[in-house]
Amino acid sequence: MNTSTNNELYIVTGAAGNLGSAIVRNLLANGKAVRSFVLRGEEAARHLPEGANVFEGDVTDISTLETLFADIPENTAVYCIHCAAMVSVSNLVAEKIWHVNVDGTQYIIDKCKAHNARLIFIGSTGAIPEQPKGTVIREVEHFDPNAVIGIYDQTKAASCQLVLDAIHAGEIDGCLILPSGISGPGDYTFGNVAGVIKEYAEGKMPAGVEGTFNCADNRDMAETIVRACKEGRTGESYILGGDQIGMKEVFDILSEHTGLPTIKTILPAGVGKLLGRMSDMAEKVTHKPQRMTSFAVYNLVRNNEFDSSKAMRELGYSPRPMAQSIAEEIDWMIEEGIVTLPKPREPDTRSFGEKLADTGSAIGHGIAAGAKAAGHGVAVGYKAVEHGVVAGYNAVADGVEDSIHAMGENFREMTMLRAGAAFESAPAVEEAEGGIVNSYDNTEALSKKFPVEHPTTILPGMETAIQNRLLNGFENWNRGFDAWKAWGDILYTPASMYNVHGVRLTLPEYQLAMQLTLRNNDIQMGAFRNMIVNDDWVAIHYDITTINRETGETKPGSVMEFVQFENYGEGQDTRVVEGWAGTKGKDYQGLLRLLTPEEREAQEQARAEILSREIPKIDVLAVRYPVNHPTSVRTALGREIRQAILLDFDCWNKGYDQWEAWARRTLSEDFVCHTDFGDASREQYLDASRVWFDEKQSKRLYFDNLLVRDNWAAIQYRIVYTENGVKEDKSMMQFFRFVEEEDGVKLVECWNK
């Protein structure tokens, strides 16, 4: 970059945004020449100060970038601060957000290279892989979109690496800034913090969700970013974070500064995740973005402790307390007439359950209405789940636990009537002997009774609690249906769902399905082949023995399940959120009979969405093949395993020749695939797979789960294929064992369902 004169020009993209506008104001206050790049018709741009020198355009429109960088006087030092980005928690805009955030960044890199401009790239702390809670997150030297969660964070990781690659190749000069959340006055785009303040002041936020914020003031960030233009070391990245505070603290700050009552009801993270999944469902049906998606909830409940000490040392970063920043943002919003403080509200006397119901509506932003517009079945399903949650938590809050059992029994009786007279005569199975077991102290004893053939690391805390709940569940199942059902009232919440052979069942429907299954057979749980626990998920593969009650015939078998748990706090403990057992098979039509007509309609709508789904045309495999329920990958070996699985997917979708080449590189010579029909060698496995290409024309769409622990992985994924000229869908489950070799990981065994 030419710095032979004192002539300077600062180009700021995304100049109408919260951070971009603060940077423009800072530059103008210091007498700098600025070019402010904003979207065409951007409403917030009219609030930019005089002298902002506004250019309208789009980072994906190269012609407008040409105009932005045109007519720069010779011997001018040019600094490009690239703030422009598409921020979204929705899964509906994956290709668009990738185009804006990644392709747009490449276009900016090209312009900086052509005009000898120094690039200050504004990334995000979300581009850095999350670390376990209690661990401070610091800058990294490499950014991997496969290692982070959510489409926005993945695009930020990919674009950060683009910038680093260009710097390391000597194409451009520059550095990276990684902000956390952004607060402070002047946010005419009404981002997350401003949105919370507005809803709180207007009385539209009856409760919060358990989690944390990490925010810093836009003015402090802007000052540091301007300083980084000259003082940021080439190729370095700098975290600009602030205080990590809980949702309750945020509400207390708001209350203290507005005089309005604080919000005392903070819903457990598990309830927030439930609302997130409901928002995801609504997006799929209505094709309208929702605000409280699973990714939005993830950002609340994740580890948000970031270390800004590097920026403090090298760039003089000095963030003001978050309480001060929020207070000044409130004052600004009042002065601008954005919010008007109402008279102090009367104390809220509603019960916990009533607040939960209202919060489901407020946070969901019209989920029920949108789902109803797109399909009555989803609306009814949402209402059923919402009522189940409300009833369950009302019961806990009020101490009326009998209402939970009453609700379940009434639902079961109605379900049996729907299922038909043949089901009504199902005989009772054996009663429990000796009651049920329910202790967190019996893990060692039950582990001897139900050993794991291929054990993997289980971390203390949530993961050991999940292990314990599984072991207690196996013991209670083997004591008979009544014991298992009584245990179910402990292990599940009224809102828990279970997917059995491709059919999504409510808890009462699931319990009825199991009762019918045990009508003619006694099924005993055996040892675990695998128990892969990761974060709040577990994948299990275990042996069963089925005994025909009439003939006494004994038949061995095995089952794969994926289950999500949540710690619901004191009095609730670790319970199942949702589970998946088995894949779509001959029981599918029979299980559909357990659903209401509305639920069947919702099931068919979800299936139609899968059949019509297109694979995004995005280079990064983790974005092309997303994981609906992502979990941590903590080791380099784990990341290699995940990449091998993603390559398996991508090569499969490119045709047999590409996939066979991948398989011969990755499957060990002594590879064995275990199926219900027998074992197959590598060559037999390759030959048997041809039918999925030649006849079935199958495509792999996305993962429901991808769990990695030690040298093992368990995946559940969706495929579409053609059967007798009809397009079908199916969920597949697999367990993999890898070994680490000099030329990469090798797959030595797999188990398929």
Q: Find where tokens 């785009």 sit.
A: 189
Residues 6+ apart with CB under 8 A from 343: none
Residues composing the chain? 753
558 and 645 together in one domain: no
Q: Which candidate, 515, 507, 502, places its Cα nearest to that of 491?
A: 507
Q: Is the pLDDT reported for residue 533 higher than 80?
A: yes
Q: Find where tokens 């109605």 sit.
A: 414
686 and 741 together in one domain: yes
Question: Can you give the pLDDT at residue 32?
Answer: 96
Least confident of 227-231, 236-240, 586-590, 697-701: 586-590
138 and 23 together in one domain: yes
DSSP 377-394: HHHHHHHHHHHHHHHHHH
Question: Can you give the pLDDT at residue 343?
Answer: 56
Which structural domain, as residue segments, surrounds residue 123? 8-335
Q: Is the pLDDT reported for residue 249 higher than 50?
A: yes
Q: Where are the beta strands (DSSP E) in 129-263?
A: 173-179, 181-183, 208-209, 212-217, 237-240, 243-246
Task: Report which listed range, 135-139, 495-499, 586-590, is most confident.
Answer: 135-139
Q: Residue 364: which pLDDT band, with cuts at 50, 70 and 90?
A: very low
Q: Confirm whether 682 is domain-assigned.
A: yes
What is the Cα–Cα distance from 570 to 564, expressed in whole angstroms? Answer: 19
CATH of the domain at 274: 3.40.50.720
Task: For residue 139, give Cα distances in angstroms to 306, 403, 575.
Answer: 9, 51, 35
Which of the pair, 177 or 272, is modelled with greater confidence? 177
**Which of 303, 335, 367 corresponds to the end of one domain?**
335
pLDDT single digits (tens) 123-151? 999 999 998 888 999 999 999 988 888 88
Residues 6+ apart with CB under 8 A from 88: 97, 151, 152, 289
Chain CA centroid to CA 127, Å: 14
Q: Confirm whether 364 is domain-assigned.
A: no
Averaged pLDDT for residues 157-161: 95
Averaged pLDDT for residues 624-650: 91
Q: Is the separation of the CB atoms in 144 and 129 below 8 Å?
A: yes
pLDDT single digits (tens) 102-115? 999 999 999 999 99
Q: Is the pLDDT reported for residue 358 higher than 60?
A: no
Question: Can you give the pLDDT at residue 622?
Answer: 86
562 and 442 together in one domain: yes
In the chain, the number of structural domains is: 3
172 and 239 together in one domain: yes
> What is residue 262's DSSP assignment?
P
Identity of residue 165: D
Task: Report which listed range, 19-28, 128-137, 189-198, 354-363, is most confident.
Answer: 19-28
Q: Which candidate, 300, 304, 303, 311, places its Cα nearest to that of 139?
A: 311
Using a cut of 0.75, tell me whether the model's pTM lies above it: no
Residue 601 structure tokens: 């309609």
- Residues forming beta bridges with residue 735, ordered by sequence position: 714, 751
Task: For residue 219, give Cα distances in angstroms to 164, 183, 319, 526, 669.
Answer: 26, 9, 9, 61, 60
Which region holds residue 45: left if phi is over 0, alpha if psi is between -120 and 50, else beta? alpha
- Residues forming beta bridges with residue 521, ordered by sequence position: 548
Residue 93 structure tokens: 């805009």
What is the Cα–Cα distance from 522 to 527, expressed in whole angstroms? Answer: 17
Q: How much of the chain is helix, strand and coil, in % rounded to 5? A: 45, 25, 30
Q: Confirm whether 416 is domain-assigned.
A: yes
530 and 658 together in one domain: no
Averaged pLDDT for residues 391-413: 32
Question: Can you give the pLDDT at residue 641?
Answer: 96
Q: Residue 378: which pLDDT band, with cuts at 50, 70 and 90?
A: very low
Residue 81 structure tokens: 């601060």
Task: Encode 268-282 in three state secondary structure.
Answer: CHHHHHHHHHHHHHH
Burial readout 423-461 (b: 16 or more C-beta within 10 A, e: otherwise): beebeebeebeeebbbeeeebeebbeebebebebebeee
Q: Is the pLDDT reported for residue 416 higher than 50?
A: no
Q: Is the pLDDT reported for residue 752 higher than 70?
A: yes
Helix (H, G, I), strand (E, B) or coil at 576: strand
Q: Is the pLDDT reported for residue 562 higher than 70?
A: yes
What is the Cα–Cα distance from 423 to 427, expressed in whole angstroms? Answer: 9
Q: Confirm whether 361 is domain-assigned.
A: no
Which of the pair, 349 or 651, is modelled with greater confidence? 651
Kindly tell me the sign of the dihedral angle through the C-alpha atoms of 61, 286, 608, 714. Answer: positive
Helix (H, G, I), strand (E, B) or coil at 246: strand
547 and 624 together in one domain: no
Looking from the CA of 428 toward its CB, the CA atoms found within 13 Å total 6
Task: Encode 518-536 in three state secondary structure.
Answer: CCCEEEEEEEEEEEEEECC
Question: Can you give the pLDDT at residue 352?
Answer: 46
**Which of 606, 641, 676 corresponds to the end of one domain?**
606
Q: Confirm whether 290 is domain-assigned.
A: yes
Mean pLDDT over the full length of the chain: 84
pLDDT single digits (tens) 704-744? 999 999 999 999 999 999 988 899 999 999 999 999 998 89
CATH of the domain at 634: 3.10.450.50
Q: Is the pLDDT reported for residue 294 higher than 70?
A: yes
Q: Is the pLDDT reported for residue 274 higher than 90?
A: no
Kindly tell me the sign of the dihedral angle through the C-alpha atoms of 338, 341, 346, 351. Answer: positive
DSSP 320-378: PPHHHHHHHHHHHHHHTTS----SPPPP----HHHHHHHHHHHHHTSHHHHHHHH-HHH
Question: Can you give the pLDDT at residue 567?
Answer: 85
Q: Is the separation of the CB atoms in 531 and 725 below 8 Å?
A: no
Q: Is the separation of the CB atoms in 623 and 616 below 8 Å?
A: yes
Question: Can you give the pLDDT at residue 677?
Answer: 82
pLDDT single digits (tens) 50-72? 999 999 999 999 999 999 999 99
Which phi and psi (to 5°) does residue 735 adopt? Answer: -120, 135
Q: Is the separation of the CB atoms in 606 and 617 below 8 Å?
A: no
Chain CA centroid to CA 178, Å: 21
What is the Cα–Cα distance from 693 to 406, expressed in whole angstroms? Answer: 51
What is the Cα–Cα distance from 251 to 240, expressed in whole angstroms? Answer: 23
What is the Cα–Cα distance from 548 to 398, expressed in whole angstroms? Answer: 44
678 and 635 together in one domain: yes
435 and 547 together in one domain: yes
Q: Is the pLDDT reported for residue 605 higher than 70?
A: yes
Identity of residue 550: E
> What is residue 146's DSSP assignment?
G
Task: Report which listed range, 57-61, 489-493, 605-609, is most confident.
Answer: 57-61
Q: Residue 202: which pLDDT band, with cuts at 50, 70 and 90?
A: confident
Task: Encode 104-134 in three state secondary structure.
Answer: HHHHHHHHHHHHCCEEEEECCHHHCCCCCCC
- Residues forming beta bridges with residue 34, ordered by sequence position: 10
Question: Can you give the pLDDT at residue 346?
Answer: 55
Averaged pLDDT for residues 75-85: 96
Question: Can you give the pLDDT at residue 349?
Answer: 58
627 and 514 together in one domain: no
What is the Cα–Cα distance from 228 to 119, expressed in whole angstroms? Answer: 10
72 and 211 together in one domain: yes
445 and 530 together in one domain: yes
Averaged pLDDT for residues 142-167: 93
What is the Cα–Cα distance from 356 to 347, expressed in whole angstroms? Answer: 17
Which of the pair, 572 or 49, is modelled with greater confidence? 49
Question: Can you give the pLDDT at residue 432?
Answer: 39
Helix (H, G, I), strand (E, B) or coil at 505: strand
DSSP 286-315: H----SS-HHHHHHHHS---B--HHHHHHH
What is the Cα–Cα distance from 485 to 508, expressed in whole angstroms? Answer: 10
Q: Is the pLDDT reported for residue 356 higher than 50?
A: no
**Which of 606, 627, 662 corresponds to the end of one domain?**
606
CB atoms within 10 A of CB 619: 11
Least confident of 239-248, 321-330, 354-363: 354-363
Q: Confirm whether 355 is domain-assigned.
A: no
Q: Confirm whether 497 is domain-assigned.
A: yes
Q: Is the pLDDT reported for residue 350 higher than 50?
A: yes
Residues 6+ apart with CB under 8 A from 29: none
Question: Can you give the pLDDT at residue 348?
Answer: 54
For the chain, what percent of residues have pLDDT higher than 90?
A: 54
What is the Cα–Cα distance from 147 to 488, expressed in whole angstroms? Answer: 35
Could you give the dihedral angle defined by the CA atoms of residues 714, 716, 722 and 723, in that order, rounded to the nearest 10 degrees? Answer: 80
Q: Confirm whether 496 is domain-assigned.
A: yes
